[in-house]
Structure 1
Amino acid sequence: MKKTVLIALTSAVVIGGEIRKKGDEFEVSHELAQDLLRRGRGTMVEGGEDDEHEIDLAKLKKPQLIELAIEYGVENPESLTVAQLIEKITEVNEALEA
């Protein structure tokens, strides 16, 4: 089964022939989520019923990791390496799940 990600749009976009408005939340494929995050058109929504909403952090590029780190409240993420960003995001996520 293909992994999906819950995304909140930061601007209006056309997806699947439909205009989606800023603020809309919906599930998209992992690949589309990465594209929307990379282009600054969406942000990940926390929560979800199951593991289908997990993203492999190792597959994200540094700007995407920085955006996610900012959402998680990581201080000064721009100064961190990719490995440090992944570590910090993982730590915060595990603390939130505890």
Structure 2
Amino acid sequence: VTVADVIAPKRPTVNKVDDNDKKVTGKAEANSRVTVKVGSKSLGSATADSKGKFSVKIKAQKKGTTLSVTAKDKAGNKSSKRTIKVVKH
């Protein structure tokens, strides 16, 4: 019997991002694909490690920019998005 994974990952937790940062870091479901977007434009994505830690490389963003971060597991289930505002360095 094969049980399909139909449970979406929890929303990722995201560390503070300032207008100098060239990466977004935090924690998500282990081995999930984490994507960072501004609106509908993707800034980048990376795979979380076996402990759920992730680091997505991005271009530095202006203060006040709202980033949305989602995680997608190997079965294709997508988390709800976590939004975070870029702060002044």
Answer whether TM exceeds 0.5 for this pair: no
Highest RCO, 1 vs 2 (Cα 8 Å, sep ≥ 6): 2
Query: Which bracket does the TM-score occupy, shorter chain normalised?
Result: under 0.3
TM-score if structure 1 supplies the norm length?
Answer: 0.23
